[in-house]
Amino acid sequence: MRSVVCKAFKQIRETGRLKLFKSYRPEYPDGGQQRDFLYVKDAVAVMLWLLDHPEVNGIFNVGAGVARTWNDLAAAVFAAMDREPAVDYVDMPGTLRGKYQYFTEAKMARLHGAGYDTPFFSLEDGVADYVRQYLAATDRYL
């Protein structure tokens, strides 16, 4: 499955614009739905730390621990591509409307309590690294 940033990058590169779902809840503006976005490099860092600390075990949430909006993610992708944001809000498919999660945020206390203290990439820094070092690279596999 492709990442949301990868899909956004392709859409912006091809059209200059990005489509996000409209909100159907009054407490969230269009694009204001929130997710705890996690850069894969941070997920890998946690896994390597757990491998190096066999005394730590159990089930842990892994996320940035901070919910950010889809508008924030869109702005980060546009910035990483050196473009001005241009977002279109589109209708959410009816099959998703009643099931869509408007807010996710990982509770990180258990992982931090176990000793993991490496800072995670900010949304902006993680998106910039991914876009510039991989998606926009001439050879994305180096």
pTM across the whole model: 0.93
141 occurs within a structural domain: no
3-state helix, strand, coil split of the chain in percent (to 5) is: 40, 10, 50
76 occurs within a structural domain: yes
Secondary structure of residue 32 in the 3-state scheme? coil
142 occurs within a structural domain: no
Whose CA is closest to 132, among 78, 72, 64?
Answer: 78
Give the CATH number of the domain where residue 27 resides: 3.40.50.720
55 occurs within a structural domain: yes
44-61, pLDDT tens digit by residue? Answer: 999 999 999 999 999 999
**Number of domains forming the structure of the chain:** 1
For every one of its 142 residues, what pLDDT tens digit does the chain have, with 9 covering 90 and above?
789 999 999 999 999 999 999 999 999 999 999 999 999 999 999 999 999 999 999 999 999 999 999 999 999 999 999 999 999 999 999 999 989 999 999 999 999 999 999 999 999 999 999 999 999 998 766 6
Q: Are 106 and 63 in contact (CB under 8 A)?
A: yes
121 occurs within a structural domain: yes
The CA-based diameter of the chain, rounded to the nearest angstrom, is 50
CB-count burial class (<10 Å; 0-12, 13-18, 19+) for 122: middle
54 occurs within a structural domain: yes
Q: What is the pLDDT of residue 108?
A: 96
Which residue segment(s) compose the domain that 99 sits in? Answer: 4-135
CB-count burial class (<10 Å; 0-12, 13-18, 19+) for 70: buried
Determine the Cα angle at 5 with ends 48 and 18, to 5°: 170
